[in-house]
Amino acid sequence: MSRQNKDNKVDDFRLDLVDNRTHKQLWGMRFSRIGFILSVVAATVFIIILFYTLFAFTPLRKTIPGYPDESSKKAAIQNAIRVDSLEKIISRWELYSENLRRVINGEEPLQIDSIIRSGETAYTKTREELHRRDSMLRERVMTEEQFELNSRGLRDLPIEGIHFFTPLKGVISQSYDPAIHPFIDITAPANSVVSAVLDGSVISAGWSDDAGYTICIQHDNDIVSIYKHNNKLLKETGEKVTAGTPVAIIGGTGNLSTGDHLHFELWYKGNPIDPTKYINF
């Protein structure tokens, strides 16, 4: 019985295409079981390769949901450029804040220009370190303000870090010369107001035959400003002034004056300096 079942096993198949009316064979194919399986696998692989080629190397890939198009690629490139620019800006601001902290503490500032030109990041701190330093600075400032310990006169700030108020808006008629003219002359309309360049105390206010009405102001960090040839003085010796406070009226008094102008001198640590390097007139 088992022998008969083995002989009835079918291994070959035939697929025919026949005309229904005439029963004429139009097409026929013979195949085995293994051949049929291999044919199906080969056809499946071919179809997969065909679809992959179509969607990978033709514009049909844009029909896939979520596939980035040209505008998305351009936006991604632009965003990457913006991120890089923002990182550079943040790095520069970190350098600026570090220099500001060093100036406040009287330390030597970093050379920002050379660092930027070299493309190096000499100051890199973690966010935690930056927040810690910022919190310490805020706490220190609040403590000084609370107990009035922030005596700015004791801070030896470099003159490059000081913001000067413009004493008089006008035209510089004679510029600074360290040898023969260690000061500047500024011409302006009559009755123009002369202002103090920084907070300070009036150490001299009066008349001299050569300079006319003159006022001298002592500022912090060994800075002295002198205003000559005024028509009228608005402050007296010993008075406190703040930056921008009117101290005189422009004039042409004194034997050395040839017309209405302000003779302005700026002294730092006992030496005359060029005011135009630190003040915009």
47-51, 105-109, 251-255, 265-269: segment of lowest average pLDDT: 105-109
Please give the pLDDT value at position 197: 96
- Lookup: tokens for 216: 């001298």
Ranges for all domains in the chain classified under CATH 2.70.70.10? 162-277
Q: Are 229 and 187 in contact (CB under 8 A)?
A: no
- Lookup: tokens for 159: 């003159």
| Highest-pLDDT range among 22-36, 43-57, 93-107, 209-223 | 209-223
Q: CB within 8 A of 257, min separation 6: which ones? A: 212, 229, 251, 263
**What is the rounded CA–CA span in Å between residue 180 and residue 81?**
54
pLDDT of residue 223 exceeding 90: yes
Q: For 105-129, what is the mean pLDDT?
A: 56
| Continuous segment of H or E residues that includes residue 56 | helix 33-57
**Which tens digit of pLDDT belongs to each residue from 142-191?**
665 554 444 444 456 688 889 999 999 999 999 999 989 999 999 999 99
Amino acid in the structure at residue 138: R
pLDDT of residue 6 exceeding 80: no
Report which of 258, 260, 238, 236 is spatially closest to residue 249, judged by C-alpha positions: 260
**What is the rounded CA–CA span in Å between residue 121 and residue 137?**
23
Q: Are 278 and 254 in contact (CB under 8 A)?
A: no
Q: Name the pTM for this structure.
A: 0.47
Q: CB within 8 A of 168, min separation 6: which ones? A: 186, 188, 192, 193, 194, 195, 250, 262, 264, 281
CATH fold label, 162-277: Glucose Permease (Domain IIA) (2.70.70)
E strands present in the chain: 12-18, 25-32, 171-174, 184-187, 193-195, 200-208, 212-219, 223-233, 240-241, 246-250, 262-268, 271-272
Please give the pLDDT value at position 227: 97
Q: For 90-115, what is the mean pLDDT?
A: 70
Give residue 95's pLDDT band: very low, low, confident or very high (50, 70, 90): confident
Please give the pLDDT value at position 33: 77
In percent, the amount of the chain with pLDDT more than 70 equals 75
Q: Are 231 and 250 in contact (CB under 8 A)?
A: yes
**What is the rounded CA–CA span in Å between residue 207 and residue 87?**
58
Q: Are 19 and 26 in contact (CB under 8 A)?
A: yes
E strands present in 74-183: 171-174
Burial grade of 278 (CB within 10 A; 0-12, 13-18, 19 or more): middle
8-12, 14-18, 79-83, 252-256: segment of lowest average pLDDT: 8-12
Q: CB within 8 A of 236, min separation 6: which ones? A: 202, 205
**What is the rounded CA–CA span in Å between residue 83 and residue 75?**
12
- 3-class SS letters over 95-106: HHHHHHHHHHCC
Q: Are 169 and 188 in contact (CB under 8 A)?
A: yes
